[in-house]
Structure 1
Amino acid sequence: MNAKKPRRPAIIEPETLEYLEGEEDPALSSESAHTSARILISAPRGEWSDPDPETKERLLNFLSTHGVDDLAELWSRSPAETLPGTLWRLLLIDEWMKRFPEGVARRFQQGLTSPNLSKFIDVEGAHTLDFSGWRKRLGTIMTGEFKEDFADFLEESQAILRVLAASEEIWMKEDPTNPLANEVTVRDDALLNTAQELFKSASLYREGLLN
């Protein structure tokens, strides 16, 4: 069955950035989520236009001034198999690592030495992963400095999550007062689900279907 090719959306206009703050209209919120995501991630094979420098600068200035909360709220409403939904998952992982850098790094090393690692990922491939380098590159997405192939990065990200899931350490408990204790971080199987979502997004991106 042939997948329906999504329409090519217009790049976000400067005035549309106003919707990043508390926009109530679902359609406008969805448009803002998608178009803001396209400013930060280049399109495969020109599926959408690159933003003009002024528009990109306005978004980055907004993020620098207001932080990522408003944008994250918009992205969180998007399905997993969309560009903003994918970026929301990466942002959540990034925030988790910013708050608990030593704990996550320790968890990754424990995953590499776990006797159950082979249940989560090819062991030989796992030991070629550069966690530190990947971690730094993850942080460039919200600064507009991400330049590499997004599909390759998503596949690397899902592999990292699989190693983290193999850790023997006790997982974060569900806690409504902790914004990081959510579906991505509370259980090893949740990390595996997110890994699968990122893997699917990588495939869609290569096909020009991650809209």
Structure 2
Amino acid sequence: MHSGSGSIIASRSAFTHTGSPRPARPGQLDQAIAEGLASDVDPERLREVAHTTAWALLSKVHKTDDPAIVERVLTLVDREGVDVIAELWSKAEPDSLPGVLWRLYLLRSWMRKQRDTIARLWRLGEPIATSASAIAGVDSAPTEDDIARTADSILTGAFRGDFAVALTRASVFVGIVALGLRVEARELTQQANLNPVGSAAEQSKRWRTQAAQLLHTAANLNITSKDFKHGAALWRQGKLE
């Protein structure tokens, strides 16, 4: 069975690694985050907190030369837990700063957790879009460690470099992984068509189901890729808020 099947789920709001527990919540939250987690906050207030914390975080890292602060921000989801960050940013629109940062953090977490699967899917998709490696900053045949380093460098670039460039890299990267999933789906469909009847019919049916699941995941990833691309355009126009 292809390991891409059922192992990656993407949506407009998240990347999730199935079968792995979510990071535990720590005993102490950053003050800015803690102030935004009251259960009685109304939606408009939560929206204000999401935008305020996103801008404060981005501004803080851009202004500092302290590597410890940079590392702390980059590993925010690792330390605080994805649930905690989700309470702040997951409901933000994809064309907003908190919405984009939410997707960037989840992209990093997803890439690091599924680096082996993603490396394989990149190798399948990249030859079809030959300029992707140069734009995303990934080798044409990346190792698992290359994927992890790329995950960190995209998020680091968002905070320490050109935000639009980081979003463009994220967009291209996610799009190529989606392309790799479509390649896998096509291969499964071809296998299924070779054995349409008899004792192999049941296996053919399973392959078609897997192919459909891969295509569904690829479609979701393409939506996220477009969200990143749109976010980059808005940032360049000074309209990402």
TM superposition shift of 1:50: 6.3
1:163 pairs with 157, 176, 179, which one? 176
Matches of 2:132 and 2:76, distance apart in 1: 37
Superposed CA offset, 1:43-96 (max 9, x none): 9xxxxx969x9xx89x95986753342122321101110001111222222222
Partner residue in 1 for 2:86: 72
Partner residue in 2 for 1:179: none
Equivalent residues in 2 for 1:50-69 (5 A)?
66-69=80-83
Equivalent residues in 2 for 1:1-211 (5 A)?
17-20=34-37, 22=39, 24-42=41-59, 66-113=80-127, 117=128, 123-128=129-134, 129-131=136-138, 132=146, 133-140=149-156, 146-167=159-180, 168-169=183-184, 187-211=217-241
Decide whether the 8 Å contact of 2:137 with 2:169 is kept in 1: no
Matches of 2:107 and 2:77, distance apart in 1: 18
Higher helix share: 2
Letter in 1 for 2:238: G
Partner residue in 1 for 2:199: none
Root-mean-square deviation (Å)? 3.5
**Cα distance, 1:20–1:135 mapped onto 2, change above 3 Å:** same
**Cα distance, 1:136–1:210 mapped onto 2, change above 3 Å:** same
Matches of 1:62 and 1:156, distance apart in 2: 21
**Cα distance, 1:107–1:62 mapped onto 2, change above 3 Å:** closer
Matches of 1:64 and 1:165, distance apart in 2: 25
Structure 2 residues without counterparts, runs of 5 or longer: 1-30, 139-145, 186-214
Aligned length: 166
TM superposition shift of 1:20: 3.4
TM superposition shift of 1:137: 1.3
Structure 1 residues without counterparts, runs of 5 or longer: 1-13, 44-48, 118-122, 171-184
**Cα distance, 1:189–1:15 mapped onto 2, change above 3 Å:** closer
**Cα distance, 1:15–1:92 mapped onto 2, change above 3 Å:** closer
Q: Secondary structure at the match of 2:131?
A: helix
TM superposition shift of 1:169: 3.0
Matches of 2:178 and 2:78, distance apart in 1: 32
* TM-score normalised according to structure 1 size: 0.64
Q: Could you tell me the percent identity over the aligned residues?
A: 29
Using the TM superposition, name which of 123-132 and 146-155 deviates more.
123-132
